[in-house]
Structure 1
């Protein structure tokens, strides 16, 4: 089984955030790989990874980075594949620095960007992209979306049982 999604993080300290993406891809049965690469500490390896990803069968790249957050942009500059950036909350500016670094890409080098620590939404976007040409995955994703709706319906039923003196429903 060859990976079709690559999850790249600037450091293994980003793993607690990126596990959410991995869990969703696992649930959707989408083969993926996970690696740590640094745009600043391993620039040659990042460039090589980005240039070779499509040839290895990767279809979507999810790239997470904190602080200066150059990783998603450097990858996007070196591949034609879609890149989804995940800004990771840091200790100084709470991830806003990473968000701005990832979202402010020059024309011609887009990086789709999710919320700070929004790895799960990055995986959802990757699944949606892949589902455009995979009917089985499209059905799994439709079922997933239906389950989200059902959770809210169930929650509202449970809320009906919560009693307060002045609650009218």
Structure 2
């Protein structure tokens, strides 16, 4: 899946897109939260399955060519023995943002530990297990792009201000609407 939503003000240029990769199609229900954030901000992205264990050659090819293909960062989600983010980080100097996907037996703790325990010198920025982690990884990628894109920085500031206003509007007890 690829979407160039880079038309219009405040959008990242097509040469500054974000890769959203996952180990399996079963990771999509979590990783779609990263894609939704990128779309909300008008950031170009490509989403694809790249399995560290079943398609290692594809992983190496993808990582080796990621910078040349215009990616600014890679958001990588995986569950279980979640080696995808770490292997990508080993093969590219682009920022890799790791999203632990909840697993069937250990509720994502295995995924989290597989991603967060990287050896010194091969960093993976690791996020929360699940939907919040995927969304926050995308917001971090957007922040990286916003360093050089003032319009995108303004959109991000507006997003944060809207979050603050939503909290100020909360009342207790909550209404039953």
How many angstroms apart in 2 are the aligned matches of 1:147 and 1:42? 42
TM-score (norm 1): 0.91
Segments of structure 1 that go 5 or more residues without pairing to the other structure are 163-169
How many angstroms apart in 2 are the aligned matches of 1:160 and 1:37? 46
* Secondary structure at the counterpart of residue 110 of structure 1: coil
Query: Residue 58 and residue 161 in structure 1: after superposition, are their counterparts in 2 closer, same or farther (change >3 A)?
Result: closer
Residue number in structure 1 paired with 2:151: 136
Segments of structure 2 that go 5 or more residues without pairing to the other structure are 5-13
More helix by share: 1
Residue number in structure 2 paired with 1:66: 79
Deviation at 1:153, TM superposition (A): 0.9
Deviation at 1:37, TM superposition (A): 0.8
Aligned Cα root-mean-square deviation (Å): 1.3
Q: How many residues align?
A: 160
Structure 1 residue 21 corresponds to structure 2 residue 38: no
How many angstroms apart in 1 are the aligned matches of 2:41 and 2:24? 25
Residue number in structure 1 paired with 2:11: none
Deviation at 1:155, TM superposition (A): 1.1
Residue number in structure 2 paired with 1:167: none
Deviation at 1:160, TM superposition (A): 6.9
Residue number in structure 1 paired with 2:64: 51
Query: Residue 42 and residue 161 in structure 1: after superposition, are their counterparts in 2 closer, same or farther (change >3 A)?
Result: closer
Encode CA deviations 1:119-163: one digit per residue, 9 max, x unaligned.
00111111111111111110000000001001101113xx3786x
Residue number in structure 2 paired with 1:10: 23
Among 133, 154, 159, the alignment partner of 2:169 is 154
TM-score (norm 2): 0.87
* Secondary structure at the counterpart of residue 140 of structure 1: helix
Encode CA deviations 1:14-70: one digit per residue, 9 max, x unaligned.
111011111111000000010001000000000100010000110010000000000
